[in-house]
Amino acid sequence: MPDSLLPAGINRVLVTGGAGFIGGAVVRRLLTGSDALVFNLDKCGYASDLASIEALPESKGRHQLLQLDLADTEATAAAVQQADPDLVMHLAAESHVDRSIDGPGAFISSNVNGTFSLLQAVRRHWEGLSEERRSRFRFHHISTDEVFGSLGATGRFSETTPYDPRSPYSASKAASDHLVNAWHHTYGLPVVLTNCSNNYGPWQFPEKLIPVVILKAIAGEPIPLYGDGANVRDWLFVEDHVDALLLAATRGQLGQSYCVGGHGERSNREVVETICQLLDERWPEGAPHARLITRVADRPGHDRRYAIDPARISAELGWEPRHDFSSGLAVTVDWYLQNQEWCRSVRQRAGYSGERIGTRA
Q: Is the Cβ of residue 289 or residue 299 nearer to ligand NAD in the bound state?
A: 299
Distance of closest approach, residue 64 Cβ to ligand NAD, in angstroms: 15
Looking at the DSSP bridge assignments, the partners of residue 38 are: 13, 63
Binds ligand NAD by CB under 6 A, chosen from 47, 171, 192, 232: 47
Report the residue number whose CB is nearest to ligand NAD.
20
Nearest Cα residue to 22 out of 96, 119, 84, 104: 96
Contact between 88 and ligand NAD (CB under 6 A)?
A: no
Contact between 239 and ligand NAD (CB under 6 A)?
A: no
Contact segment (CB under 6 A) with ligand NAD among 67-75, 212-220, 249-257, 313-321 equals: 67-75
Which amino acid is located at 284 in the chain? P
In the set 69, 94, 145, 243, the catalytic residue is: 145
**Alpha carbons 305 and 346: distance in angstroms, whole number:** 30
**Alpha carbons 309 and 51: distance in angstroms, whole number:** 34
> Is residue 169 annotated as part of the catalytic site, yes or no?
yes
| Binding track, positions 99-138, relative to ligand NAD; x by CB under 6 A | -----------x---x------------------------
Q: Is the Cβ of residue 44 or residue 129 nearer to ligand NAD in the bound state?
A: 44
Q: Is the Cβ of residue 204 or residue 274 nearer to ligand NAD in the bound state?
A: 204
Which amino acid is located at 125 in the chain? H
**Number of chain positions touching ligand NAD (CB under 6 A):** 29
Cβ pair 261, 151 in contact under 8 A: no
> Is residue 145 annotated as part of the catalytic site, yes or no?
yes
**Alpha carbons 112 and 118: distance in angstroms, whole number:** 10
| Binding track, positions 21-40, relative to ligand NAD; x by CB under 6 A | xxx-----------------
Contact between 268 and ligand NAD (CB under 6 A)?
A: no
Contact between 42 and ligand NAD (CB under 6 A)?
A: yes
Interaxial angle between packed helices 114-127 and 73-83, expressed in degrees from 0 to 180 and rounded to the nearest 10: 40
| Binding track, positions 2-21, relative to ligand NAD; x by CB under 6 A | ---------------x-xxx
Contact between 50 and ligand NAD (CB under 6 A)?
A: no
SS3 300: coil
Contact segment (CB under 6 A) with ligand NAD among 192-200, 250-258, 307-315, 353-361 equals: 192-200
Contact between 301 and ligand NAD (CB under 6 A)?
A: no
Distances (CA, A) of 117 to 36, 77, 121, 175, 301: 25, 8, 6, 13, 30
Distance of closest approach, residue 306 Cβ to ligand NAD, in angstroms: 10
> Is residue 46 annotated as part of the catalytic site, yes or no?
no
**Alpha carbons 204 and 354: distance in angstroms, whole number:** 14
Helices (H), the chain: 21-33, 51-54, 73-83, 97-102, 104-107, 114-127, 131-136, 168-187, 209-219, 238-251, 268-282, 311-317, 325-338, 340-350
Strand duo 138-144 + 293-296: pairing: unpaired
Cβ pair 38, 31 in contact under 8 A: yes
In the set 69, 169, 303, 309, the catalytic residue is: 169
Contact between 170 and ligand NAD (CB under 6 A)?
A: no
* Residue 235, C-beta contacts closer than 8 angstroms, at least 6 positions apart: 197, 198, 199, 200, 262, 264, 265, 266, 271, 325, 328, 329
Distance of closest approach, residue 170 Cβ to ligand NAD, in angstroms: 9
SS3 244: helix
Binds ligand NAD by CB under 6 A, chosen from 45, 104, 227, 229: 45
Contact segment (CB under 6 A) with ligand NAD among 89-97, 127-135, 178-186, 278-286 equals: 89-97
Site for ligand NAD, rule CB under 6 A: 17, 19-23, 42-45, 47-48, 69-71, 91-95, 110, 114, 142, 144, 173, 196, 198-199, 205
Residues classed as catalytic: 145-146, 169
